[in-house]
Each structure stands twice: as C-alpha cells, then as structure tokens.
Amino acid sequence: MAIKNVIRSVFLFLSSYGVSMVLLFLLLVLTLFGTLEQAHIGLYEAQKKYFESFFLVHDLWGVPIPLPGGYLLMALLFVNLLFGGIVRARKEWRRPGMLIAHAGMLLMLLAGAVTYHVADSGYLTLYEGERSNEFQSYHEWEISIAQSGGGTQLIIPGERFVSMKQGESRSFFAPELPFELRLSGFEPNSRPASAPNSPDAVDGIALVPRPLATGNESNAAGAYAEVIEKDTGKTQRGLLWAFAQAPWSVEVGGATWMIDLRRKRWQLPFTVVLDKFHRDLHPGTMMAANYSSDVTEIKDGVSRQVEIKMNEPLRREGYTLFQSGWGPQNAGPDARLFSTFSVVRNPADQWPLYSCYIVTLGLLIHFLQKLVAYIRLQNRRSS
Amino acid sequence: MRLNLRWLCLAVLVVSAPVMAAAGEGVTLPRWDQDTVELFASLPVQAGGRIKPLDTYAQFAMLKINGKRTFRTEGGLKIGPTEWIMYCLFFPEVTDTWKQFIVDRAEVVSAIGLTTHDKRRDRYAYSELKPGRQKLMELATQYQRKEARQRAPMEQQVINLAYNLREYESISQFMYFSTVHFHPDPEGRIGKALGVQEEGHATLSLMLQRVPALLSRMSTDKSLSDTERRELSDILHKMEKSVATAGTLSLFPPTDPEKKEWYSPADLLVAAFEPGHDLDTQFKLLGHLERLKALRDDPIAFHQEVLALHGGLKALAEARGEYAKIGVERAFYRGKYLFFSQWLYVLSFVLVALSWLVPQSKWLQRLIPPAVLAPTILLIIAIAFRCIIRGRPPVTTLYETLLFITASSALVAVIIEYINRQRIAVALGSIMGTLGMFLAYRYELKEGVDTMPSLVAVLDTNFWLASHVTTVTLGYAAGLLAAALAHVYILGKLFGLKRGDEAYYASVDRMIYGVVCFSLLFSLVGTVLGGIWANDSWGRFWGWDPKENGALMICLWALVMLHARLGHYIKDLGTAITSVVLGMIVTFSWWGVNLLGVGLHSYGFTSGILRLLVAFWSVETVVIILGFVVGQMDRMSASSSPGDQKTA
C-alpha cells in the first residue's frame, strides 16, 4: 500500500504543472546561456556543453552556476509531458486540443532523441567530374589502417582514442594485423612543427598543441604513433595528423600499410557523380541568387540525373544530400569547381513536420475554442 | 496642333519656373519641370541585382550621403531625390559645393586633416572634403582591415564617409564621358572611315557604333602607317578613359533576353568590342544621354532628349518583361504611404492622449478606433505594394519585420477593441503603431540602402518565407502586444486607474492571456516551420543557432507562463509581470541575437541598436519591479480589509 502511495506521489509530482514550469524555465535559462556562450566557445562546444549534456557548470561573471544539461531536461520534460499532458490530462472529446498538442510535442522530443542517437551527418565534396560513395563527418575522427594495394582494412573509431589524456598511450591489436599500433600524445587541435630537440619528435617534427578553434571544423587532431611488429618487436615511429596530405606509410613484413587519422567516414548505398556546379549571381552583383549541382546518382548500374539546389535536397534510401558549399572561392570563370553536399541519414528526418501538423492542429482547436468562449462572454456582457 | 499646344505649355512652364542661383562659379541652375523629373524618376536602372526606378536608386544614395530624402539648396529650394541626382549628374560643379555629406562626429573631419565646422554633427560639401580625400581613403582602408565588431564608432564613420564620397563621385563624375570629344584627322583614312568629316568631332556613342567595325577591318590591314596606327590606338585609349567613371548606372537593357546584366556606358564599351552583340539601339540611346549634359541649360531640348531616352529604355526593358514593376514602385514611393501612416499614427496617439484628459468625450472615443485603423490600412497597402514589387511574401528583411510587426500588432489591437470595446487595446495599437513606424523610419535612415534588396540564395523560396517568417513574426507581434497590455495592468494598478474596478482588470487580464496564447501558437508553429525549412536547406531540423534559440525562448517562456497560470502559481498580476518578461525576450530574439555576431541569421544592421535595447530592457526591469510593488500594495490592502482577500 505504502509503495503504491509512493508511486502515486512520484507520478503526481512528475506530472505536475510545477515540474513542467520548472523544467521549461530551466530549459529557457540553458538556451539563453548556451546562446550567449556561442560567441565565445563556438557552436559545437556550446552545443555539447549546454544542450547535449546531463549536468554543467555555467560561469556567470565569475560565479559558477551548476545547471542540469539539455539532455537531462528534455528527457525529464518528455516524462512530464507523457504523464501530465497525456496520462493525467482530462480526456474530454469536446476539448481535444491540448491532448493533441501535447502528443505532437512528445513526437518532437522523440524526434530529437532519435536524431541525437541514431542520425549520421557529414559532408561530401566533389570536383566536377568526380564521383564518390562515401561521406565524412564534420566533427568525429577515426584511424584507418589499410594494406596498400587492397586487402585488409581496419578502422579504429574516434571514441577509442579521443578521450586519451596527456601522457597516456593506448595500444590497438587485431588478429589480421602483423603489428600493434600504439598511440600517444593525442591533441584535438595541433600542427606539426620543426622541433629537433623535442623528445617526441619524429624526424625532427613534433606536434604542437593549439587552442581549440571556435569553429570545430577547423580543428586538426594529431597523435604520435608507434608500429611494433608482432614477430620481431621492431618499432617504427610516425606522426598522424588530420590535415596531412598523405597517410603515414609503414613497411611491415614486406607489405606496405597506410595509417591515416581522418574524419570519420560512412558509405552511401549509391554513388554520386558531380557533373556540373552552377552558381547564379544576382545580375550586376557578386551576391549569389542560387547554387545548384547537376548530379548523376548511380545504383546497381542504373543512373539517374538529378539537380540538388538550395532548399531542394536529394532524398534517397534514407539519405539526404543538401547543397551546402562550393569552391574554390577565388576561381576564375573557366576554373573547375567543387561542390560540397551536407549528407544526413536520419530516420526521424520528417518527424518534426508531422509533429508540427499535430501541434498546430491541437493549439488551433484549443485556442479557437477559448476565443469563441471569450467572444460569447463579451457578447453576454454587452447585452 | 496638339503637339504645338503641348510645346507652348511646356515653354510657359519652363519660363515661369523659378531659377536657382547656384553657389558655385556663377552657374545658374534651372528648376527642372515636373514632367522631366518624373520621366527621369521612372528611368529603369539595374542596381543591387534588381530593376528599379532611378528615383529609388537616388533616394537611397541621397539617404546615405545626406541622411535625408530632401535637400535644401543655399538658394532655399527644397529638392527631392530625382532632382538631386539630376543636379549631381548635370551640374556637378555646383553640387560639389553643396553641404550635403552628413558627418556625425567632427573628429572624422579633423582626422583627415581638415578644419571642422562648429557643430559636432554637421553636413560638409564635397569641395570641403576633397583636400582630405587621400587621407580619408588611407584611413578607411586601414580600418576596414579590422573586424567590424572591433572598430571604434569613429573608425566606422571614417569608412562610411569614404564610401559616401566614392558614391557621390560615381554619380557626379558619371557624365564625364559626354564631355569627351574625339577629333580624328578628318582628311585621314581613319577620320574618313569614321565619317566625322561634317561634324569635325565625334562623341562616344558615335565612336562605339563605328570604331569596333573599323578596328576589325584595319587590324589586318598591312598598309596602315605607324601614324595611323597610333591615331587608332589613341582613339581607343581615349574611349576607355572617357568611360572610366561611367560604370555606376546600368541603364541600358540588353537586347539579348539571355543576358541578365544591363549595361552602363562603361559596359557598353566592353560589349562593343565583343562579337555577337546587337547594340545599335543602346548606342543610340547612349547618344540621347550624352546630349543631356550639353543641353542642361535648355529645358525644352533637355526634356525632349529625356523623353526619347525614357521611351527607348522603356521599350527595351518592356521587351524583356522588366519594366512592369517600375510604375508600381513609382506609385508606391509617390503615394508616401509609410510617411502618411507614420503621421496618422501620431495623430491617433494625440487623440488617445486627449481621450485620457477628457475621458467623458464620446466623440473622441468614437474617433479613436478609425484613427488607428486608417494608418494601419495605409501600412498594409504599403506592405502589399512591396510584396507586388518584389514578388515576395511580406517579410524578407529585418526592416520588413518592423513594418509587419507594427501592422499586425495594430490590427490585432483594433480587432480586440472590436470584441471588447474597452478602449485599452486600441490605445496600445496607436502607441505601438507610432513607435513601430518611427523605428522603421530610423532604421531606413541609418542603413541608407534599398529596403527591397535582392535575397541571398537560401531565402529564395517564397513558400518558406511566407510560412515560417510570416508566422514567427506574427508571434513576435503578439508577444509585444501582450507586454504592452501588461503595462496597462501594472501601471494602471500602480497609479490607481479605475481603482476598485476589478472587472476592468479582469478584462485586461483576459486580453493578456488571449494574446499570449496567440503569441505561443504563432511562435511555436513558426519556430517549428523554421526548423523544417532548415532541415530542407541545411540538413538539420535544429542547430541551436542564436536566432532559433531566441524563438525557442519565446515559446518556452509563453509555456512557462501558461503552465504557471494553470497550476495557480501565478494569477492576473503574475501574468502581467511575466508578459513584460515575454516582451523582453521577444526583443532579445528579434534584435538582440544579431548583436552576438554568430550564427546563420546574423543579418541586418546591428550597430547602435545595443544602446536602444539596453534602455528598453532597463525600463522593462523597472516595470517588473513596479509589478512586484503593486503585488505588495495588493497584499497590504487585502490584509487591512480581511473581507476582500485577493492575491497576486
């Protein structure tokens, strides 16, 4: 009986207006701080710290303020909405508006969670005439180990090494590899520089750490790598740097291996060829009126011509390709151009749209009913 | 016979027109007759990526340089933008001496080594500034290397003045090409081939018609002597030099419908030497333009040339389907809808104020709603004109949000008045209309650029502009109206307005609540629609961009308010106080986030706005504090009369 009472009290608490009010207010405060902070730490860091976190400490003019993070608040809001807005709410057929609107909001929060946990997003850059069937992440790293001339290829996902602390080293083994790879000195943003006296230097070059850039896309991760041959124990040292022109290549047992620290990559279920990139300017100005790419999409030997332009992406097999950039910026009139597409795989892609329909319907019904009641009241008063 | 009569009328008109004594070099300025001015005003010109009347171009150039749309000459004559640009084009030696360059800080003038006027903010003449030109350009180049946010106000002013000087020069020196005459040896082969024997000299338009063909004939002619080659080369060099300052006004529509860029005289020179262009009509029209400067003292002949130029340019533009909106835009600006709307709002506010002084006056009470409705209708007409001219939904720029928010909040206020007839909403409509229109006017003045600009690629979608932008802007308007109503509640209670009339305050409370609901509906739907648009253009529904976050904050706060009210955490006074906060959040989202200088929506003018915002937020904070004072007063009076329990 007591347990039942406790469950009931917890349910009543979690579904209360007070909790909704506090959660919404905290989310508002978090949004305000996260917005203002973007000017200092950039969008990516602000997003991680404020909106994707469980807890955080905000620095307000030197005063540390502990706050629940966006992830936690939104999860609690989901529970509060479900209990308060759906389970506990009055279900009258004559007043369905709020129930519908709350259901729509639940779908919206759910879409957010699915996007956060499941979606992949990155980009694909192609010069005119080039083709590709993979896209890469804006933010995440990976290390690829590949045998030259094909054959074995292994990927070390970023989460296995980006959390390495200063002075820490980690070793990676695999049965198919004739060596062990040991990583150390990982830096999220670095640049190689001549440092013949540094104990870490490889051929006189060392990685110099740099402060994180506000635009996360311009951070270049780097690490020292050691390849230790399984048979002989022979060690070779090298540098891995994200913006390097070519992977580090090592000879082990007569075979050449390429080791590359790079943006995380995903495969597309089709191949994309950039036929032509167009940039239309407003006449007589340097202001772009539109960007578009003529693209051929190839799948199982069948090709289709499509145009990808601003506001009109290509949606295919769960992937969406958006026109997002172009270059080189200083290209002459006849220069070969490249086009960059944002690529997203998100099962919840269209959920916000459905949610928008539902919420709009719910709010319209509810507020119109209120308005009609108000007008009736006024009319009664004036008569 | 009709033609003769017209001529006679024109002659009388010209003779009777006042003549302005010019300040410079003993030149007498003619007063252009209105027909000529209107023809000039409606010359189509391609600028900023769109085709507009020359008057629109002149308005914003004048606004930027002079800070006003009118100018009073030293002779006391008040001129508008088209007349201004005509004088600048055809009498630059006079306009150079006009004190028309607005300088907000005298330090700018002393920084370029010139003597300042007595006043800190004053207007300077080009002739006064010219000795410091080189220094000005050096400083401007130096300051431009700094990021805009890092520049001191004085440095920004230096850059602005440099731009304005260049803009003025590009207009005042535009007609230079028409003063250049070519004198090939009439007896020589080149002179003969160019057919200048009779005239003895040739103008640029004639040279453009004949030189390219001659050049292609003679370039392979081995018998051409060195002297003849030099003569040809000199002609080409002179032609190029003559149009060096004639690139500003792209007045000449191409005959080829595929070619989007219109020609300026400088562009015509380039195109004349490229194969495959049919430019005969453009060259002839250039001839009309060319003759204008020489005919500037002969109003009748001048008018005839303008008429021919206008007719020719109009025909070319019409053939491309690019003239249709010139008339609409002229009608829009000639109608001065925004100007009249602004002053009618002021008038309505005066009536509102009078009604406070004489509350028993029935005719005042009857007059106020139509007095607010009239400027609102004018404003809606203006917005409709702008939609037609651009073929766009009502809101595409920050400036247009001002017009739209003003119109919609005033309209909602009038509708509320129609429903409850409390004379509260309509008074607020009048105040918000006046404030909104003044802000729009100030903004336009400060920016000094065409308020109907071309749109960047991502905005090129009428569907999303119509749905997301319009909806979210309506949400802003309602949020501000709710805040305004809340002021009536708080300040009314504080100053004892309708003391003891709880029904009155209950009615204000219902209005606030209704408008907050309206605001939530539009903000929430608008924000979500924005996300869906972002999902279509950038591949993500939500990116925590400052503008998105601003809109989210409005939704969250409205939700906090409504849930707090439902949970009985706040009542009527609480709703009023939280509505004032809603207004503060709306202004943060509308203007404040642009100050951060980050994100995808950092468009529009922001410098100088911070002071205004901080002032607004400070005043609103005081109102919130007053709200709590009212709460305290209520509690005290409730405890002194226990029979009348009422809490905030």
Point out which residues pair with B71 in neighbouring strands. B79
The structural domain count of chain A equals 3
A367 touches chain B (CB under 8 A): yes
How many pairs of residues across A and B have Cβ atoms under 8 Å apart? Answer: 163
Point out which residues pair with A125 in neighbouring strands. A340
Characterize A310-321 residue by residue with b for buried, 16 or more Cβ atoms within 10 angstroms of its Cβ, and e for exposed: bbebbebeebbb
Q: Which of A20, A284, A378 sits opposite B563 (nearest CB)?
A: A20
Helices then strands, each counted (H, E), chain B:
27, 8
Best of A16, A23, A28, A40 to substitute, by most chain B Cβ atoms within 10 angstroms, is A28
Which residues on B lie below 8 Å from A311 (Cβ)?
458, 460-461, 464, 533, 536-537
CA A136/CA A260 separation, integer angstroms: 14
C-alpha distance from residue B634 to each of A317, B120, B344, B493, B638 (Å): 64, 50, 39, 9, 6
Q: Are residues A249 and A150 in the same domain?
A: yes
Residue span of the structural domain in which A112 resides = 2-118+351-382
pLDDT at residue number B217: 76
Give me the sign of the Cα torsion angle A356, B461, B446, B141: positive
Which residues on A lie below 8 Å from B569 (Cβ)?
17-18, 21
Characterize B268-299 residue by residue with b for buried, 16 or more Cβ atoms within 10 angstroms of its Cβ, and e for exposed: bbebbeeeebebebbbebbbbbbbbbebbeeb
pLDDT at residue number B603: 46
Which residues on A lie below 8 Å from B458 (Cβ)?
310-311
Note whether B590 and B526 are within 8 A (CB): no
Contact B457 A289 (CB under 8 A): yes
Which residues on A lie below 8 Å from B539 (Cβ)?
121, 313, 320, 322, 324, 342-344
φ, ψ for residue A102 (rounded to 5)? -65, -40
**Domain closes at, from A265, A293, A323:** A265
A364 touches chain B (CB under 8 A): yes
Q: Are residues A112 and A16 in the same domain?
A: yes
Q: Which of A24, A36, A322 sits opposite B539 (nearest CB)?
A: A322
Pairing outcome for strands A288-299 and A255-281: antiparallel
CA A322/CA A313 separation, integer angstroms: 5
A47 touches chain B (CB under 8 A): yes
ipTM: 0.84
Q: Are residues A252 and A153 in the same domain?
A: yes
**Domain closes at, from A265, A294, A318:** A265
The residue type at B93: E
pLDDT tens readout for residues A51-76: 999 999 998 888 999 999 999 999 99
Report the residue of chain A nearest B259, measured CA to CA: A283
B419 touches chain A (CB under 8 A): yes
CA A261/CA B162 separation, integer angstroms: 49
Give the residue-averaged pLDDT of A154-167: 87
CA A25/CA A31 separation, integer angstroms: 10
B602 touches chain A (CB under 8 A): no
Q: Name the residue among B29, B27, B6 with its Cα closest to residue B17.
A: B29
With 80 as the cut, is the pLDDT of residue A362 above it?
yes
Which of A137 and A333 is assigned the larger pLDDT? A137
B591 touches chain A (CB under 8 A): no
Point out which residues pair with B45 in neighbouring strands. B52
Measured in whole angstroms, the distance separating CA B434 from the mean position of its chain's CA atoms is 19
The A residues from 232 to 251 touching B (CB cutoff 8 Å) are: none
C-alpha distance from residue B522 to each of A351, A363, B284, B461, B469 (Å): 19, 10, 55, 20, 10
A123 touches chain B (CB under 8 A): no
Q: Are residues A158 and A187 in the same domain?
A: yes
Confidence of residue A165 (pLDDT cuts 50, 70, 90): confident
Contact A28 B560 (CB under 8 A): yes
What six digits make up the tokens of A134? Answer: 């993979």
Element (H, E) at B435: helix B425-447
- DSSP letters of B161-186? HHHHHHHHHHHHTGGGGGG--B---T
Mutual orientation of helices B362-390 and B398-420 as an angle, nearest 10°? 150
Q: Are residues A217 and A238 in the same domain?
A: yes
Q: Are residues A243 and A285 in the same domain?
A: no
pLDDT at residue number B199: 61
Pairing outcome for strands A288-299 and B50-53: unpaired
Give me the sign of the Cα torsion angle B588, B592, B598, B603: positive
Best of B170, B582, B598 to substitute, by most chain A Cβ atoms within 10 angstroms, is B598
pLDDT at residue number B607: 58
Which residues on B lie below 8 Å from A283 (Cβ)?
46, 49, 260-262
CA distance B180 to chain A (A): 26
Q: Name the residue among B342, B465, B462 with its Cα closest to residue B402.
A: B342
Q: Are residues A76 and A104 in the same domain?
A: yes
CA B500/CA B504 separation, integer angstroms: 9
Q: Are residues A261 and A143 in the same domain?
A: yes
Mutual orientation of helices B299-319 and B2-16 as an angle, nearest 10°? 120
The B residues from 85 to 144 touching A (CB cutoff 8 Å) are: none
Q: Are residues A277 and A341 in the same domain?
A: yes
Q: How many residues does chain A have?
A: 383
Q: Are residues A170 and A244 in the same domain?
A: yes
Q: Are residues A261 and A286 in the same domain?
A: no
pLDDT tens readout for residues A79-123: 999 998 888 877 777 888 989 999 999 999 999 999 989 988 899
Q: Which residues contact B461 (CB under 8 A, 6 or more apart)?
A: A310, A311, B533
pLDDT at residue number B37: 95
Which residues on A lie below 8 Å from B535 (Cβ)?
349, 352-353
**Block mean pLDDT (10 aa), chain B, length 648:** 37 40 61 92 94 95 92 87 96 94 91 90 94 95 85 88 95 94 80 70 86 77 79 88 93 92 94 86 94 91 95 96 94 95 95 87 89 96 95 90 94 89 88 94 86 82 84 94 94 87 89 92 90 82 85 94 92 95 94 70 57 92 96 85 47
Characterize B367-401 residue by residue with b for buried, 16 or more Cβ atoms within 10 angstroms of its Cβ, and e for exposed: ebbebbbbbbbbbbbbbebbbebbebbbbbbbbbb
C-alpha distance from residue B7 to each of A36, B36, B329 (Å): 68, 13, 29
pTM of the predicted structure, to 2 decimals: 0.84
**Domain closes at, from A265, A289, A309:** A265
pLDDT at residue number B15: 37
CA A351/CA A359 separation, integer angstroms: 12
Q: Which of A21, A310, A320 sits opposite B560 (nearest CB)?
A: A21
pLDDT at residue number B184: 79
A62 touches chain B (CB under 8 A): no
pLDDT at residue number A64: 92
Give me the sign of the Cα torsion angle B325, B329, B335, B341: positive
Q: Which of A31, A287, A374 sits opposite B549 (nearest CB)?
A: A31
Q: Are residues A70 and A40 in the same domain?
A: yes
Cis, peptide link before residue A328, omega less than 30° from 0: yes
